[in-house]
Every structure is written in C-alpha cells, then in structure tokens.
Amino acid sequence: MSGIDARDTELKKELAATLHARSELGEEFEPALVDSFLEKVDQRIDGAVERRVRRQLAEQQMQEARDSRTPRATDTWGERFGFGIVSLVLAVPLSAIGGGVAQLPGLLTAWAGIVGVNVVQAVRTNPGLFGRRASSRGSDWED
C-alpha cells in the first residue's frame, strides 16, 4: 500500500510543479504543460494496467498448473471400469499363486496389493475421496 501512496504523492508533486511552471511561464505555454502532465499520467496508468495484466496472467497460469494436477476428462467412467476389470482378472492368478505358495499369508498379501493399487487409482481419479480437499485459500495477489 505504501507504494501506491508514494506514487500518488509523486503525481501530486508533478501537478504542483506543472501549475507553478504555468504561473511563471504564462498562458502561452499552458497547452504544452498540460500535454506534458497528461503524458506522465498516461504513463502511470499504462504501468498500472501492465502490472495488473501481468498479475492476472500469472494467476491464470497458476490456476492452469493446479488444474493440470487434477483428473482430466480422460479419466472417464470407461477407464475406471476397465481398471476394475483388469484388477479382478489379475486377482485370480495372483490369489492362486499367493495361496498356493504361502497359504493364507500369501493370499492376504496378494489381496492387500490388489486393494492398495485400486485405492491409489481411486484417490488419483477422485482427489477428495477420503475427505482430503484441495485448498480453497484466496489469492495472495490481491491489491
């Protein structure tokens, strides 16, 4: 906020200097003095607009980067269904191997792996599935 106050003070000093110059130089220089002051005001406005546009562009890029980490439209119902089918198809031989080699502990280990892979897939496609929500904090780029 102090940067804005300093710029306002500077602009007030420029206006005072322009008015003082007009009183010393006379009315014949008034159009040139006014044009000069307005040019400075235009530059100040252009700078403020440019900063605002850059800030908004940065915010937009940050939002796009955040959105790119969330599931896309490619995470369709068909993909999730296919992943579930493949998981079940692979569960049969894994269960047979685990149960045949290591009995009940092998069977439990195989199913723990199957469940783990499915949980990871579910969390990846549904980030808020277990109550973990993305931060909805406001922007730090406020005026």
Distance CA 8, CA 104 (A): 78
Is residue 98 exposed (0-12), middle (13-18) or buried (19+ Cβ within 10 Å)?
A: buried
Question: Are 63 and 114 part of one and the same domain?
Answer: no
| Residue 19 token pair | 């008015």
Q: Do 28 and 78 have their domain in common?
A: no
Predicted confidence (pLDDT) per residue in 85-112, tens digit = 999 899 999 999 988 999 999 999 999 9
Q: In which domain, by residue range, is 62 found?
A: 2-68
Q: Could you give the percent of the chain with pLDDT greater than 70?
A: 82
A 10 A CB-CB count for 8 gives: 11
Task: Give the relative orientation of helices 30-68 and 2-25 as an angle to the nearest 10 degrees.
Answer: 160
16 with 61, same domain? yes
Return the structure tokens found at 51.
Answer: 């900063």
Are residues 80 and 52 part of one domain?
no
For the segment 29-35, the average pLDDT, to the nearest whole number, is 87
Same domain, 83 and 26: no
Considering the domain architecture, whether residues 55 and 106 belong to the same structural domain is answered as: no
60: its two tokens? 């937009």
Local confidence band at 69 (pLDDT 50, 70, 90 cut-offs): low
Does residue 139 sit within a domain?
no
Query: What integer is the mean pLDDT of 10-14?
Result: 86
Q: Which of residues 68, 101, 118 is at a domain's end? A: 68
Q: Tell me if 122 sits within 8 A of 129, measured CB to CB.
A: yes
Query: Residue 124 and residue 141: Cα distance in Å, rounded?
Result: 29
Tell me, what's the pLDDT at 140? 44
Determine the Cα–Cα distance for residues 9 and 129; give it in Å rounded to an integer: 53
User: What is the tally of structural domains in the chain?
Assistant: 2
The DSSP secondary-structure symbol of 27 reads G
Residues 40 and 57 in one domain: yes
Look at residues 20, 38, 68 and tell me which one is the last residue of a structural domain. 68
pLDDT at 136 over 60: no
Residues 52 and 101 in one domain: no
Task: Give the pLDDT confidence score for residue 143 in this predicted structure.
Answer: 42
Do 64 and 50 lie in a common domain?
Answer: yes
